């Protein structure tokens, strides 16, 4: 019953088998392996983007920070939601890899920016010329840090604001596939057709051991990415082990099946919690994360029974009246089972 994060899940058998197979014999290093050629072709097919350039890195932080670095200058602003992943969970990596770009935080309910809020933030930036950071780029986290999803139409509306000011758009897609299947859109509709220039396409949280793709829809930006990836220490020598993961992930729709399952388990958990007396959802459950509040006694029973998840925020005391609600984040993964969900709900309810 581990609902702490989808990062806690194992890699899928298909991914592990691919890594083992890639370990046979020799292969050219640094992305020159034959599997990378197949990955590049598959990503272009999936996204209906024959000119897109595709690069692999091992972490989402590298994918996001390097992507931002090719889209803005050191004196540029990166417009993102106040609860964007690059704001909350990257330890300043975007600022570091861009050489000093400033995150400008935009408001919006449930971790989603609105076009009006984004427009106000952009319009307010750079108003004093050389004394301010300049307008740089927009970054959209999808799925969001609150488990919600931007639809393709919502992405397009934000991108239209960005393009109106001549700004490029990055999508932080550590959970891109969860957002994609929830939004019932094609990969192209969710990205370049909506105005996204660069996508960080996550695999690690959705069943891979450790691989993320950076999909650059404008190939003119690709060479700079290659240089920054190498200079930043993120060009793998034994790259075939990244390629093998991504190739298996994309084969026969595995990536989509894994995300659909994780989303379904989150929905099952969300519905069960929402039905509890006095419980409530803090954010809509649209992908694979549940943000909910319920009685402290339910949390005690869950933790005592072996469940793992985070109180959200972390600093809520477990000491106090049983009936007081505490808020929590619970994340389902590809390996979460209905039995896991039902066992947790049983503990929260207080029955065996």
Q: Alpha-carbon torsion 91, 97, 99, 103, what sign?
A: negative
Mean of per-residue pLDDT scores for the chain = 96
Is 301 a residue whose pLDDT tops 50? Answer: yes
If DSSP codes are grouped into helix, strand and coil, which group holds residue 289? strand
Which residues touch 44 (CB under 8 Å, ≥6 apart)? 50, 51, 52, 54
Tally of helices (H runs) and strands (E runs) in the chain:
14, 11
Domains of the chain: 10-254 (3.40.640.10), 255-347 (3.90.1150.10)
Q: What is the model's pLDDT at position 131?
A: 86
Cβ(270)–Cβ(292) below 8 Å: yes
Is 305 a residue whose pLDDT tops 60? Answer: yes
Q: Are strands 53-57 and 212-216 parallel, antiparallel or unpaired?
A: antiparallel
| Locus of tokens 């740089």 | 136
Is 97 a residue whose pLDDT tops 90? Answer: yes
Q: How far apart are CA 65 and CA 93, in angstroms?
A: 6
Q: What is the model's pLDDT at position 351?
A: 64
pTM of the model: 0.95
């Amino acid at each position: 019953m581990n609902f702490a994060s989808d990062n806690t899940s194992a890699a899928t058998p298909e991914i592990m088998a691919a890594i083992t197979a890639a370990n046979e014999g020799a292969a050219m290093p640094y992305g020159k392996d034959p599997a990378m050629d197949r990955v590049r072709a598959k990503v272009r097919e999936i996204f209906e983007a024959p000119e897109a350039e595709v690069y692999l890195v091992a972490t989402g932080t590298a994918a996001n920070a390097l992507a931002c670095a090719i889209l803005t200058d050191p004196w540029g602003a990166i417009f993102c939601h106040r609860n964007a992943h690059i704001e909350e969970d990257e330890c300043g990596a975007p600022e570091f890899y861009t050489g000093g770009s400033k995150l400008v935080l935009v408001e919006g309910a449930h971790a989603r920016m609105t076009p009006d809020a984004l427009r106000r933030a952009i319009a307010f930036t750079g108003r004093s010329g050389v004394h301010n950071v300049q307008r740089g780029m927009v970054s959209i986290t999808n799925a969001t840090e609150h488990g919600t999803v931007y639809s393709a139409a919502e992405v397009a509306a934000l991108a239209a604001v960005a393009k109106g000011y001549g700004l490029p758009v990055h999508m932080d897609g550590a959970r891109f596939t969860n957002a994609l299947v929830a939004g019932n859109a094609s990969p192209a509709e969710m990205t370049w057709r909506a105005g996204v220039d660069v996508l960080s396409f996550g695999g690690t949280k959705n069943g891979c051991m450790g691989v993320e793709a950076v999909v650059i829809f404008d190939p003119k930006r690709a060479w700079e990415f290659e240089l920054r990836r190498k200079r930043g220490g993120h060009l793998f020598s034994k790259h075939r082990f990244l390629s093998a993961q991504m190739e298996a992930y994309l084969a026969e729709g595995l990536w989509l099946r894994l995300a659909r399952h994780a989303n379904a388990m989150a929905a099952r958990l969300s519905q069960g919690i929402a039905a509890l007396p006095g419980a409530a959802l803090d954010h809509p459950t649209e992908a694979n994360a549940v943000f909910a509040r319920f009685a402290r006694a339910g949390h005690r029973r869950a933790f005592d029974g072996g469940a793992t998840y985070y109180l959200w925020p972390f600093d809520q005391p477990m000491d106090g009246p049983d009936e007081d609600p505490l808020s929590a984040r619970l994340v389902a993964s590809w390996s979460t089972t209905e039995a896991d969900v039902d066992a947790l709900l049983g503990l929260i309810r207080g029955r065996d």
